[in-house]
Amino acid sequence: MAKTETLNRRQLLTALLGCQVAGSVGCSTLRLPPAGELQHTRFDIGHLVRDGVAAELDFSAHEQVGVTIVGGGIAGLAAAWRLKRAGFDDFVLAELESKPGGTARGGSRNGVRFPWGAHYVPVPMAENESLIQLLTEMRVIESVADDGSPVVAEEFLCREPEERVYSDGSWHEGLYPGHGASEEDLKQLNAFRMEMDRWADMRDASGRRMFAIPMAMGSDDEVVRQLDQMSMKDWMNDQGWDSPRLHWLVDYSCRDDYGLPPERVSAWAGVFYFAARIVRSGMGSQEVITWPEGNGRIVNYLHDSVQENVRTGVGVFAVAGSQEAGPCRVAALDAKTGKQVGFRSEQVLFAAPQMMAKHVIEGFSESGRDVSGFQYGSWLVANVHVQDRPVDEGFPMAWDNVIRESRSLGYVTATHQLGVDHGPTVLTWYYPFADVEATITRKQMLQLGWADWAEVVLADLRLAHPGIDDLVSRIDIMCWGHAMIQPSPGFVWGPERRAAAEPLGAVHFAGTDLSGVALLEEAFFHGVRAAEEILAVRGIVDRPVDLTRKD
């Protein structure tokens, strides 16, 4: 490999893991697990669309269908589910990948289920009615208390022990590295928590929470909009907080939820992460709902309920005539056959990332819309199959296992929620390219092979589990090129984001990027909202259909 074109292993490891780690593995003999594969999203087709080299449009053999949903991530699936619940069935959902779900997908191998991306949902608060409706249908929520707060079945609430952190040579309970913390560290941690409680309790003139999930239900008051003008790092410094442990906690949280370090995250998003999950002061963060396959459980439920309307392996590359009278013309490529397919629809529900919109929707840029502010971060997710649990110093294996001195986010244990504490399992390891994009471009990442990435994963895990190599039987790796919308300062409350959610002619938009933060709840909210817009346009009076599976 020519050095000018690609990075060598040492450079790669240094860029991803830092000098210390790379130095420790760079000279050791390369030892890789016996099996595994590297998967990518269908960036090949995506890039064809972007580069405008798609096949010449042929709208002759189009199917007639009332609504076309473009994209089968949570937003598209939620929209489909919402249409179906209203008794409206005249739609198709076109998804480029062979499986729906986007970054919420899960997988399974040898009877073990594991996530490929998003893996939990905090228990929704009373105001998130549609999500409560969904989780009730799924029998995850058993009942609703008098105050409207949902009661979640025990088996879906994350089982204790929930989190542990590897710090100073052993594992400790919880996420905050409290081991060895000074009095000042703890004082600042407490001050930080009280500040988040304060934001959770605060209401604006209309009585809205300052931070709510979905964020559209929170306040747009000047107080919160000001936060968006600075980075989380600067905001922390403004508060006078300099505790390295507190900064680590916030750094971890920002990379975990947004794939960015605090210096590049809007302080609005940084505070939102904490404050939106607190019902009121003193109650702590909402508990989290999780499944062995992560949010893949929700994907599968939604998919099952609209299965006959979903076309997978179908990549939409053009939407024409959306601003004219008459139906929109949707052109797509069937990835399996390589043939062009298409739909004529009165409405299109565009539930793909905004970065695709200008390449796909005819007249998008001409309409004056600008979505160049929508920037997406990349992620690497690895499913590491182990024959047995590593023998650890300190606190036992938890659901979420974080290594303090690493730039990865650590791993979640796939069998944790099943109550299986012994024997083989799968560790789902997460790595956001939070601060490496300057040194490694997406293009360079695409040139790296399975062996390169497997070595990165193992080098990171060895920090906390020196003997992990002997236990690993397989590593499967997923490279998410455009995994997450980045809530950089100014983006969340900037004009572009809010304009992007407005319909463009017959095209209605959904997607978590419209909220500026990547969350299942936001994607779900926008999917439901866009579906309701279409129902309203079509004059369909909502006849809720009970989709609860009768089993």
- Return the number of the residue (25 or 112) whose C-beta is nearest other proteins: 112
| Strand 163-167 to 400-403 pairing | parallel
Q: How many other CB atoms sit within 10 Å of the CB of residue 272?
A: 30
Shortest Cβ distance from residue 111 to other proteins (Å)?
A: 12
Q: Are 52 and 492 in contact (CB under 8 A)?
A: no
Alpha carbons within 13 angstroms on the beta-carbon side of residue 491 total: 23
Could you count the other beta carbons within 10 Å of the beta carbon of residue 506?
22
3-state percent helix, strand, coil for the chain, nearest multiple of 5: 35, 25, 45
Q: In this structure, which amino acid lies at residue 281?
A: S
User: At closest approach, how far in Å is the CB of 148 from other proteins?
Assistant: 21
CB of 398 to other proteins, least distance (A): 8
**CB of 256: closest distance to other proteins in angstroms?**
20
Q: Indicate the residue type of 304.
A: D
**Smaller CB distance to other proteins: residue 157 or 335?**
157
Nearer to other proteins, 81 or 395 (CB): 395
Backbone angles phi, psi at 353, to 5 degrees: -60, 150
Provide the terminal-to-terminal Cα distance of the chain, rounded to the nearest Å: 56
Is the Cβ of residue 407 or residue 416 nearer to other proteins in the bound state? 416
Q: Of the candidates 97, 310, 281, which has an alpha carbon nearest to the alpha carbon of residue 198?
A: 281
Nearer to other proteins, 112 or 507 (CB): 112
Beta strand ranges found along 56-95 (DSSP E)? 63-64, 67-70, 91-95
3-state secondary structure of 108: strand
- Based on CB atoms, which residue is closest to other proteins, 155 or 242? 155
What DSSP element (H or E) covers 290?
strand 288-290
For 42, 168, 321, the CA distances from 342, given in Å and listed in that order, are 19, 58, 13
Residue with smaller CB distance to other proteins, 286 or 406: 286
Q: To the nearest whole angstrom, how small is the minimum distance from the Cβ of residue 160 to other proteins? A: 4
CA dihedral 79, 525, 45, 440 (to 10 degrees): -170
Q: What minimum distance in Å lies between the beta carbon of 154 and other proteins?
A: 4
Q: Strand order in 91-95's β-sheet?
A: 310-312, 91-95, 67-70, 347-350, 507-509
- Helix 520-537, helix 129-137: angle, nearest 10: 100
Binding site for other proteins (CB under 8 A): 154-155, 157-162, 287, 388, 396, 418-423
CB of 164 to other proteins, least distance (A): 11
Closest CB to other proteins among residues 159, 462 = 159
**Nearer residue to other proteins within complex by CB, 159 or 498:** 159
Of the pair 89, 388, the CB lying nearest other proteins is at 388
* Smallest distance from other proteins to CB 85, Å: 30
Buried b (16+ CB within 10 A) or exposed e, 364-396: beeeebebebbbbbbbbbbbbbbeebbeeeebe
Least Cβ distance, residue 321 to other proteins (angstroms): 52
CB of 52 to other proteins, least distance (A): 51
Residue with tokens 């998130």: 128
